[in-house]
Structure 1
């Protein structure tokens, strides 16, 4: 029985990125069925304005995910900073299990913390303030109650605004805060962390209370490249698609 677990994040699927959509659909039909489970750690979509949005390629993605989960491969999904409005209806339509913003799993005998990564970027105070506000039920209900067209226009405006805001910020502010990483892992009794968000794929080794710890940063997918972190009983490897 295959015990391989796959981790991906930051695909940022949208109508404007057909290459990434095709690569993800191929992953779902050819690579993912060979795994014991698939974890998507946030920002599957570049923007998600509600589970009622039929804008391409959303329905195609839904159907392919449903086919994968229906065949017996469990898929777990964390919301990212771009698709945090993914909700119950999406989960029902696809068979995907939504997991908490911090989730601890037993990864072949080792407690492993999973998160999208934006919560670890605590130096970016304006973003953290927006995140706290936008994750309240009241804020989300106010947004989701708006007409679909208005939400589509707002999402486009926010993406442009986000692009220019990022250009003004230093790279260090947009990266994780190491003290936050250590405290978060210590609180959850984990010495291994896997996350995305920063688009800085790497494996970081450090110490927590004199014990060796590791932080795995997943790669963002692009038009020309995509990576999967694969884990089995023999350890891990990074696989290029």
Structure 2
């Protein structure tokens, strides 16, 4: 369990989907790092921070400015935590350590100022989409990851673009309930980990769900002109916009 100082706030964000190079999304993250995150004891990034990660040798360069900004924030005293999502699971622990960021397992319990919570990216609980779960198991298979990293850089970029287009097309064709968290899977997580609160992203459906096992908070995904994060302090949880 990761402990937090009850007197200091903790921030959460996920699903920024930062493209390579300059963008409004990157500007918003830089504003978060230079502003609210400086006053917080910790910032938890719960997956899909990047639109896709093609390996440290490629995406590490594409997102160099973002990584340097994260490192600078860490040096000022804010603890930074990164949990891989379904778009950026190829980020290596070695690279994160180099920039002062701690890799998190999925899921993990954190003791927040107002009580414990289970953190996750959330995609593992979308169990009704069996095709996605098969792909997820394959994508997290180490030999498959090693094989992808060994491909030429240009080919990796091409494959990522094709997968993104295919994902968008399937998303438009797939029933909404298949893309969301399975309530039964969330209930099992409450029981397995003995918590009354879950915080996750992935679904792009920000909301607060009162469930039999506890409360499930879905983080807001970032959209053009709408960049939000979750703040936890001794008074509870609140959503804030980056100005």
**TM-score over 0.5 for the pair:** yes
Structure 1 residues 111, 138: closer, same or farther in 2, change over 3 A?
Answer: same
Aligned residue among 73, 90, 99 for 1:85: 90
Structure 1, unmatched stretches of 5+, are none
Aligned residue among 17, 39, 42 for 1:37: 42
Indicate if the aligned counterparts of 2:48 and 2:88 stay in contact, CA closer than 8 A: yes
Indicate if the aligned counterparts of 1:17 and 1:223 stay in contact, CA closer than 8 A: no
Secondary structure of the structure 2 residue equivalent to 1:76:
strand
> Structure 1 stretches (4+) deviating beyond 4 angstroms?
54-57
CA distance in 1, matches of 2:183, 2:59: 39
Q: Deviations over 1:19-45 (max 9, x none)?
A: 111111111112211101000110000
Q: Which residue of 1 aligns with 2:103?
A: 98
Instruction: Please give the TM-score of this superposition, normalised by the length of structure 1.
Output: 0.94
Q: Which residue of 2 aligns with 1:64?
A: 69
Structure 2, unmatched stretches of 5+, are none
Aligned residue among 4, 17, 22 for 1:12: 17
CA distance in 2, matches of 1:85, 1:34: 30
Instruction: Please give the TM-score of this superposition, normalised by the length of structure 2.
Output: 0.93
Secondary structure of the structure 2 residue equivalent to 1:21:
helix
- The answer as to 2:210 corresponding to 1:199 is no
Indicate if the aligned counterparts of 1:119 and 1:128 stay in contact, CA closer than 8 A: yes
Indicate if the aligned counterparts of 1:66 and 1:95 stay in contact, CA closer than 8 A: yes
RMSD: 1.5
CA distance in 1, matches of 2:93, 2:60: 18
Q: Deviations over 1:74-112 (max 9, x none)?
A: 011110001010112321232111100111111125221
The Cα shift of 1:57 comes to 4.7
